[in-house]
């Protein structure tokens, strides 16, 4: 199935029958990725009196409750409501779901005890108005990212200048394979979040950040068609299944 997307008066074609899923699935055990000092998510059958919602235990259907946190347990897309005192919903903020995207791979540089993605690194790989969405894959790209427990690890993050540059390049949708674009323990400064959303000076309510993606190493850097479709949660963030499609022209 062929599709076409327009960007800056240019047409890009892709084959929708060849999806590249870059989401992490939610599991109800310790093999799930975990961040922000949470325990593992839980998926378990409903129990009510003698009823247990599990076919193998005699029920007519499987009927599970799911307990999780979008920010700490799964690939998720968030809006500026993540950092504002006023309520803003990702379900209301994101109204379009297909974008031209560029995938880049970056090995964060060492600064003291930190690993940082710098403006200079992004500048070498991404230019102004090149795409509306940017996917950043950090190196090394180990398979362990799919089940990593990130709490107290001081994961790599974007410096404020890098997030500002990305915003100035016209990127409305930023995707990273980390639990946050900011430092794990930053005293609540949230410099990269605020720079990308231009908060609070001229807040970009339509812009989104997607965290905890996983891009397999076999997928090469370049231009893609992105389908970004979070679940319909009235919350600052929702689980999301971002899918890339290779550009054919």
Quick check: is 52 in a domain? no
Q: What average pLDDT does the segment 109-120 reach?
A: 98
Mean pLDDT, rounded, of the chain: 96
- pTM score > 0.85 for this model? yes
Report the CATH number at residue 95: 3.50.30.50
Quick check: is 125 in a domain? yes
The domain tally of the chain equals 1
pLDDT digits (tens, 9 = 90+) for 69-93: 999 999 999 999 999 999 999 999 9
Quick check: is 149 in a domain? yes
Quick check: is 38 in a domain? no
Quick check: is 88 in a domain? yes
Asked whether the beta carbons of 3 and 14 are under 8 A apart, the reply is: yes
Segments forming the whole domain that contains residue 194: 2-24+70-246
The pLDDT of residue 10 is: 84
Residue 226 tokens read as 């992105």
Quick check: is 120 in a domain? yes
On the question of pLDDT at 249 being above 80, the answer is no
User: How far is residue 154's CA from residue 134's CA, in Å, rounded to a whole number?
Assistant: 23
Quick check: is 44 in a domain? no
Quick check: is 160 in a domain? yes
The CB density around residue 240, as the number of other CB atoms within 10 Å, is 27
pLDDT digits (tens, 9 = 90+) for 6-58: 888 888 889 999 999 999 999 999 999 999 999 999 999 999 999 999 999 99
Closest CA to 147 of 7, 16, 29, 3: 29
């Amino acid at each position: 199935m062929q599709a076409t997307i327009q960007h800056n008066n240019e047409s890009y074609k892709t084959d929708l029958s060849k999806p590249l899923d870059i989401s992490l699935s939610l599991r109800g055990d310790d093999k799930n990725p975990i961040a922000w000092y949470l325990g593992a998510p839980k998926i378990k059958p409903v129990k009510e009196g003698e009823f247990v919602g599990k076919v193998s235990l005699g029920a007519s259907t499987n009927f599970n409750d799911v307990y999780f946190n979008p920010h700490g347990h799964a690939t998720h897309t968030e809006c500026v409501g993540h950092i504002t005192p006023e309520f803003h919903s990702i379900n209301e903020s994101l109204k379009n779901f297909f974008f031209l995207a560029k995938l880049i791979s970056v090995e964060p540089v060492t600064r003291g005890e930190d690993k940082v993605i710098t403006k200079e690194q992004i500048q070498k790989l991404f230019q102004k108005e090149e795409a509306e969405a940017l996917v950043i894959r950090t190196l090394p790209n180990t398979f362990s990212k799919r089940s990593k427990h990130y709490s107290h690890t001081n994961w790599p993050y974007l410096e404020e200048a890098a997030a500002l540059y990305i915003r100035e390049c016209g990127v409305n949708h930023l995707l990273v394979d980390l639990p946050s674009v900011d430092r794990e323990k930053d005293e609540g400064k949230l410099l990269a979040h605020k720079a990308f959303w231009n908060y609070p000076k001229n807040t970009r309510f339509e812009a989104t950040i997607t965290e905890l993606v996983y891009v397999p190493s076999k997928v090469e850097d370049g231009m893609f068609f992105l389908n970004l479709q979070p679940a319909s949660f009235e919350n600052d963030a929702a689980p999301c299944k971002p899918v890339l499609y290779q550009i054919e022209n």
